[in-house]
Structure 1
């Protein structure tokens, strides 16, 4: 359970102020939607360099305070995923530590050349035996996410059984599923793979609206750059915010991002293919700024309200209200990206009536606030 803003928690985040009425609910919403579901659950710093207290949480150390991180790679390796792991964990020394912090190693089942998905190779010296003493075992993503590797699955199970933390992002989460490490857990992956992961491993509950999920001994991250978020979160959990903030500054990213994957999933404003309601949907799509109760829609379709509601669900798979809400949120996205209208103006333009209602529906659908979405995706310079 994430701690809400203003409640007493195990860690204290310093006050970062507010950004006015347009962003009044952003902090609470980001804590509810970022994706962590275990310590430090919801206590993530919002910006790089923002101090906070984390030293009361347990640390996972190896030897003289060092954490050994072993990364398992396979043929078809996605280089970006390995690069993320190397950038976050590969720097052994940090300015604030007298001793090395991380022992980073890359391992594979058969040492030697490992092919990447882009046609070049990397040379890996360590075999899977080098995973035996690792505190953190990371699995790098690969193109053939459904290719099972029994030796890798066995090593992952053994590492998990002896207490190592296992982390994987994007397509690598399928490898954890093959090892049985997703059973009975929430998990995430790239939003494109969510349905496939759920079908392949029905004993996990897949949530593709978050950037990562921390289940304590298993951490799963969403696609691509969300691997940075997941690994910085784990670093913060194991070594504290100062070490994680140092790593974040070095690779020029914030140690925490607002929202979840839903903000990156493009929901088209286009119309559903329908047998008889296509003209009505086009008509409604041009009038999203107007009140559109079911009675008005039914009259436009020349049906009774009851018949219209049944026909609408049969042809679109949703209710008129849900369809209107999704269309209004999608239009709000476009205006946030491509206009300098205020949040209040956008709310009226898309038919929500006020900024509070827009924030409510936008956060529920996209996992972030309108203002945070505009900061990430707006194409216009702030005035």
Structure 2
């Protein structure tokens, strides 16, 4: 290709990094390199949910047709169930709220979802076994130097850290930032939310056979089984062949404290069953088919004061890792990518005007994603009757709906237009 106007290095090949790579591939004058520490692209976890806001971005990226083939809930334009909420920590469980959205929830197995992005990557952009050790923003040569654990090095015009909750890029950015308040450096460290999550996959046929051919609700639509200090999220994935199960347990006294031990471990189904003993029959029918699970200590970030510094930017979990209680983490990473790619692809952006794109990206995405980060943690407490609404169902239900208001107040296209307008209004040159 001819000399590119920008060389963009993407550190991390998860959903956010690959979304940015696919979005940037629409611009033939931008060189893309994706550096992944593992030997292949892979996703850890199980289910993933998407709503109308994110689906519109996937349509813009040309992915919706292929993604429709790997979901059991392709959008049809009609309202659908977001979640059915049940008071489930008692034998006589009951529905207390039904949350509906324009598209419902589009449900995926995370690995299948990631595969679609991989299939749309241009040839030759992926580099595996490249664990970033450090970077140097060389202002004299107008480039960023990258050093990897295998001893290799590279350069780029822009480094985008898509390297997750424990981001190396974020750590170095904040370590080197000239904050007037030294305590701001500490905000870049992940903190334990107080929740642990038991994640498991259950074959739908196993449940069906045990119930004489009958299906339980979690086999047909997204469920939120709620109880005091605990809740279970469950929904079908893989065209309905698998039921995704995530059981959350909250330790209020531990919120914000250090978690002692590994953040992810393996466990058996008996451990999950013990935590949800006495819950309604439908929950018991679901959990008794869990053989193996993983136990996750759910960490998140506190809202960051900056996503960019010099020729370096943060995206996705590296910028705003959040609790999973609104199912919004992946969607926010994709929205980061959509906005940043539109800015970088604008004809006015070159190596010399890159600062304008980064400034606009941060000004639009930081307040938005930080808001979702905060709302997600509050939502989790609502599901467990730990909010100001406690278990007053008539007020709790509408309050849960209001937590998702951010998704309806604008569209991704409008956010891009706001970012482009902000970028074009910047006149004073900022030193990178």
**TM-score range for the pair, normalised by the shorter chain length:** under 0.3
Structure with greater proportional strand content: 2
TM-score (norm 1): 0.23
Instruction: Return the structure number with greater relative CO, CA threshold 8 A, min gap 6.
Output: 2
TM-score (norm 2): 0.21
